[in-house]
Each structure stands twice: as C-alpha cells, then as structure tokens.
Amino acid sequence: MTRIEIVTGSRLHFGLICGTQNTGWEFGGVGLMLRQPSWTIVLVPHNEVDDRITASAETSGRVQKFLRQIRSTLPLKSVAVSISEEIPFHTGLGSGTQLGLALAAAAVLLTSSRPNHDPDELARLAHRAERSAVGTVGFREGGFLIDHGASANPPLRHRVDRLAIPEDWRFVLVRPVQAQGLCGDTERDFFSQHIHMPKSLVGQLGEQIEHQLVPAVRDGRFDEFASALEAYGRTIGSFYAQEQGDVFAHPVIRRLVTDMQSSGIQGAAQSSWGPGICIPARSMSHARMISEMIPASLEETALAVQISEPLNVGASLRSTSAEPSRGQLA
C-alpha cells in the first residue's frame, strides 16, 4: 500500500494588480512563501466505499470538495486523509490553494505512480489559479514571487519570476483570531465587475516592484525591503479600501499598525484580503522583539501572533511503498 505525505507552506500575497492587457499586470502582483503555518497531510488508499477524513470540520468539507473536483479528471479511488497541521482559511495565507494543490499532487502520484511538477496541471485539477499564479507557482518553487499577470496567457511558470528570500529574514504574522477576510461569492462578485485600476496606479505599482522590492530582496537589503513593502501595501491598499474599509481590512489591525509605526517598526503589509498582516524582521531576535511588542488582545479582540521562516523550496512530497521514493516539487 502506498502512503503519501505532503507538507506545504503558507502564501502571502500583497494584493492583486487589476491592470488590463494594455497596461499590463493583469491580475499580477507579488507574494512570498513561508514555512509556517503549514499543511501536513497523509493520504493512503483504502477499501471502504467513502473517503475517511481526519481533520477539523471546515477542513474536512474542503477536502471532500477538492476530491470531487479531482475525480472529475482522475480515476482516484477511495482514500483515507489525515491532516495533523492546518492553515487557517480566509486569513491571507493561501490555505485553500495550498490544500487543493497538495491533494492534486497526491492524487496524480496515486493514479499514475509519477510525481507531478506541472503547476498548470495541478491548478486545473484543483480548480485554482483563477486569477493569481503566486500561490500555485509558490507551491512548486517557494521564494519571493513576481507575477507579471495573465495578459499574455502563458504557462503559469513563465508568467512568474522567482527570487530566493534571505534565509535570516523572518516574518511576524498577526491576525484577529475570530475574523476572516473577504472570500467566496463576495470576492468573486467584486472581480466579476471587471474593475480596473487607473493606468497611473498600475504604473506606480510596477515601478515599486521592479525598482524597490525586487532589488531589495535580490541584494538582501532588509531596511529597503521593509520600507518598500510598507509603501507597496499602502499604495495597492488604497485601491481596495472602499471595498474592505481601509488599507487594512480590520479596525484592530489598523490600530496595531499605527502603534507599531509609532514605536519605529516598519514594513507591515496586509496579505490578500486579510485580515492578517505580516511584519518583516531582519533576524529571529528582531522578530522576537517585534512579537513581544504585540499584545495578546487589543480592544477586546484576541490576536494570534506567529514568527515564520521563509520557504525557498517547493512543497515536500514523500511516498512510501514497495519501492520508496522521496522528493520535492521543484
């Protein structure tokens, strides 16, 4: 019997650029992969009629949906799925994409006895990458990702550039425990309106990416990266403020960011629709200092705080069978 274990990272995405084919960056943007929080999934075939899923209630429902989608393409038989580590949904961490791609990669291996390295195929199986390619390419390669957008409709790997994140850097993740960001039908309705950013804003964001963020990551200049990330987040957040209430979606996070800035901490940026944010740190000791400044609750809202490492490789996949194989999706 084949036993498959997959461990993914989390994805941060600092906001979709809603450009056009003429202005470029159509559903482009920047993001990065983190080692924590993670999905740790074990999947094995079994002889029962129905799948057996061991996970939280919300995750179990998501797994069932992904398996139905995958089976519309692959002849996947019943499986037992056990999930020991989860990424919270709708908090800006790309949990749905990482879960769906992990299950798709496991299904390909079970049905064809071959590892899958094609992000386009995995995205089709899991019905992901509808707009952004950051999480899908990040699942395969890790790192800091620059998505140039869907205008040319190339393979996902060709529309995304990748840089390694300096290994010493850390990212302090903060989110209100009981809150979720915009998602589902509400998010689809927003983008179905074919809202486009002004050409000047698209140009400004492109300049910030190419002349500030990318050189800072490439050359390991932390202070410049933190400053550029904060500026980028505020620039792109101004476009989404009408929909989510402000540059930062949650009022308590707005208060926290203001307090942190007053204390000299820069770099806070929201991921996707939030409500979670990340604050970059130059080292683990710097990250601990930042995390110690964040209260357990603010305005009677509990906050979850976590220090995460950069993930510069793809998700890991290990299969155990009569002929063991082990490798990474890279």
Q: What's the pLDDT at 152?
A: 64
Q: What's the pLDDT at 324?
A: 43
C-alpha 129/C-alpha 200 separation (Å) is 26
Average pLDDT over residues 205-223: 98
The fraction of the chain above a pLDDT of 70, given in percent, is 96
The fraction of the chain above a pLDDT of 90, given in percent, is 82
Q: What's the pLDDT at 236?
A: 97
pLDDT in tens, 164-199: 999 999 999 999 999 988 777 777 787 777 689 999
Q: What's the pLDDT at 130?
A: 87
pLDDT in tens, 10-36: 999 999 999 998 888 999 999 999 999
C-alpha 53/C-alpha 65 separation (Å) is 12
Q: Is the pLDDT of residue 86 over 90?
A: yes
Asked whether the beta carbons of 171 and 310 are under 8 A apart, the reply is: yes
Which pLDDT band, with edges at 50, 70 and 90, does 2 fall under? confident
* Domain ranges, ordered by start, for the chain: 3-165+314-328, 170-308
Average pLDDT over residues 68-72: 97
Which pLDDT band, with edges at 50, 70 and 90, does 328 fall under? low
Fold of 3-165+314-328: Ribosomal Protein S5; domain 2 (3.30.230)
pLDDT in tens, 298-319: 999 999 999 999 999 999 999 9
Q: What's the pLDDT at 330?
A: 46
Q: What's the pLDDT at 327?
A: 53
Separation of first and last alpha carbons in the chain: 25
Fold of 170-308: Alpha-Beta Plaits (3.30.70)
Q: Name the average pLDDT for the chain.
A: 93
Residue 53, C-beta contacts closer than 8 angstroms, at least 6 positions apart: 60, 63, 64, 80, 81, 82, 83
Average pLDDT over residues 206-228: 98
Which pLDDT band, with edges at 50, 70 and 90, does 325 fall under? very low
Query: Residue 187: how many CA atoms within 13 Å on its side-chain side?
Result: 14
170-308 matches 3-165+314-328 in CATH topology: no
Q: What's the pLDDT at 329?
A: 60
